[in-house]
Amino acid sequence: MTNDSPILKIEGLSVYYGTKRVLNSVNLDIKEFGVTALMGPSGCGKSTLLRAINRLHELYPNTRVEGSILLNDESSTDLLNTNRPVEWVRSKVGMVFQKPNPFPKSIFENVAYGLRVQTDMNKNEIQARVETCLKDAGLWEEVHDRLDAPAQSLSGGQQQRLCIARALAPAPSILLMDEPTSALDPIATQVIEGLIQKISKETSIILVTHSMQQARRISDHAAFLYLGDIVECDQTKKVFESPEHELTKSYIEGSFG
């Protein structure tokens, strides 16, 4: 992969729920590293796009996809190819959801579980990786002396950081985040936003957000979706300050939402 090649190349992606078409032949390149924010009103297809990248759409009945999602711009790594195990896809593409969803296990096991399932790491390697991920998620200093405690004993913001650590454990190339701060208070939101910017220096992040302020604060690129189409995608500064499309301008100015 050259420096100019996208880490993820989405081509002609359409998603159907039954007969309803939710995404319309979407084409989108995701740059390596940094944060790409997906913006748009409710129902425009943002979360559906994330689910397709991680093949979570397969959990929904009567769902059909068309097109391709190429990792590292290689046809051999089409994430939608059902001949490739979904476990492999999710080791390359991590996911953090809107609400913290820690496993009903200890703090340590929340991070270690995926390593046991997806890797052949030994006990010492797993312990080292768990510590690294908890540090990367800014949580180690708060939990290092109680790793055996239930994950549910953590605060909401801590639980979300634990979920981020869990998603980082397999060292994914891409991290999907579906409104990861919408259930958090302003202080926890600020912590998570700082964490996102830190992680994005080594991992490509695709962030769904309803907050245009958040997209402007922490993303490098922004894509505006409307009724299943990508209306505009560019550097965040350009999208907000000099959008090419009148529809994008109207959305940013709050004419609709």
Q: How confident is the model at residue 1 (pLDDT cuts 50, 70, 90)?
A: very low
pLDDT, tens digit, for every residue of 35-58? 999 999 999 999 999 999 999 999
pLDDT, tens digit, for every residue of 68-126? 999 987 777 899 999 989 989 998 999 999 999 999 999 999 999 989 887 889 999 99
Give the residue with greater pLDDT, 146 vs 255. Answer: 146
- What does the pLDDT read at residue 48? 95
- What does the pLDDT read at residue 120? 85
- What does the pLDDT read at residue 2? 42
Strands, sheet with 229-235, edge to edge from the N-terminal-most edge strand? 93-96, 174-178, 204-208, 35-39, 221-226, 229-235
Indicate whether 18 pLDDT > 50. Answer: yes
Please name the amino acid found at residue 123.
K
Query: What is the mean predicted confidence (pLDDT) over 210-236?
Result: 96
Q: How confident is the model at residue 257 (pLDDT cuts 50, 70, 90)?
A: low
DSSP summary character for residue 106: B
> pLDDT > 70: what percent of the chain?
98
List Cα–Cα distances, 30 to 93, 140, 162, 187, in angstroms: 13, 30, 25, 29
Indicate whether 3 pLDDT > 60. Answer: no
- What does the pLDDT read at residue 76? 79
pLDDT, tens digit, for every residue of 126-170? 999 999 999 999 999 999 999 999 999 999 999 999 999 999 999
C-alpha radius of gyration, the chain, whole number: 18
pTM: 0.93
Fold of 8-96+173-252: Rossmann fold (3.40.50)
Indicate whether 223 pLDDT > 90. Answer: yes
Domains in the chain: boundaries: 8-96+173-252
Residues 211 and 77: their CA atoms lie apart, in Å, by 32
